[in-house]
Amino acid sequence: MLAAVIIGAASGLGGFLLSAVTDLPSGAVIVLVSSALVVLAEYLRSTGGRAVFGLASGMSGFAAAAGPGLTAVATMALGLVIGTVTLTGSLVAFAKLQELMRGAPIAFKGQSAFNALLLVLILAGGVLFALNPLGYRLELLLGVLVLSAVLGVTMVIPVGGADMPVIIALLNSYSGLAAAAAGFAIDNYVLIVAGALVGASGIILTNLMCRAMNRSLGNVLFGAVGAPVTAATGERKQVIRYTAADAAAMLENAMSVIVVPGYGLAVAQAQYALHEAAELLRRNGTTVSYAIHPVAGRMPGHMNVLLAEANVPYELLKDMEEINEEFANTDVVLVAGANDVINPAAREKGNPLSGMPILQVDKAQTVIIVKRSLSPGFSGMDNPLFYDPKTLMVFGDAKDILIKISAELGKGS
């Protein structure tokens, strides 16, 4: 046991130290694998291995056992189902976030009915499994687990666009429920309490994220919001490329600046460079604030964590509802790696972002966007703000560009 604790602690600490904040959603996968294995191991132990291996009592070192009670087996079955559904769902979410598969929703005809059928079969199998666990062998157990794994995949693939942070919060809630079920299986009160806290807080966060996105949970799960639309053919729009020196000159002459951080900032680990540039502006008398969209980044609270790492004063952070009215009176907006959350196309109908609340960046007098390329955001929608005459597009790595901007601002201070 001591060896197992040491190995687990070392691997967990190593993973934490080597992982960036952008990799945190994958951490739920580890929790789910652990919970499912704990429940499965406890079931095998309590049944003497006979339910799965079909061994006679006393054979191959397995002790005879009367088997767990109905409540215990029902809890184990629930833990295995929740853990497996959430495990495969988390793997799909992770693949989308890491761009290993396309982020746009993947939907097929009759998908909702197919998911409902899977759920009915899983519940029926789980009931049979709980009522008479020693009377059924490997086939029933594997059948329920395979169906649960498929349901996890088909539940997450229709989710895309900027709705991904919502599904991440929901999956994290499920991981808490799986951990709590594992706690009931092994009679561990700490695991029960911890899992219940994660499950409850995850549900609350999911509800808050849905409200921020102006969507219901059902719409996120079954609406396939973010599905690609056929783009109109025509001449490709052109943009004027500006330099870091151009952006610095515009910022230096501004009386008010709003900073909008996005996922590109997180990928480039540019929060420190951004903070340095903002502090130089503040020392020159410029009013600076940060606009935080609820789903900026790849998970809830992503931008708050990154900016806190760079010691950005908390009072400068403003949420979307608080700051949207200020954009019209702002001289310059500096966008660092954000895309979907500032896309004016969300105000139009019939596209992947329709109805999503956005930061009203396009109402400012001047917009500076630091971005690697003109590639669309996670929703797959092109951003008309890139081609607006008042927009300065500065292409390159966010960290490198912001360091250059800081160097230019430092010359004038």
Per the annotation, the verdict on 187 as an active-site residue is no
Facing residues of 341 across strands? Answer: none
Q: For 274, list phi and psi in degrees, rounded to 5.
A: -65, -45
188 closest CA partner among 75, 65, 78, 290 = 75
At 395, which helix (H) or strand (E)?
A: strand 391-395
Q: Is 110 left (phi over 0), alpha (psi -120 to 50) or beta?
A: left
Choose the catalytic residue: 340, 382, 397, 400.
Answer: 340
Cβ neighbours of residue 142 closer than 8 Å, sequence gap 6 or more: none
SS3 state of residue 257: strand
What is the Rg, in whole angstroms, of the alpha carbon atoms belonging to the chain? 25
* 319-to-15, 280, 286, 312, 344 alpha-carbon distances in Å: 31, 23, 20, 15, 18
Residue corresponding to tokens 């009072």: 315
Q: Up-side HSE of residue 47: CA atoms within 13 Å toward CB? A: 28
Report the greatest alpha carbon distance in the chain: 84
| Calpha distance 105→157 (Å, rounded) | 6
* 83-to-46, 64, 305 alpha-carbon distances in Å: 20, 28, 28
Q: Structure tokens of 190?
A: 């700490």
Q: Mind telling me the catalytic residues?
A: 340
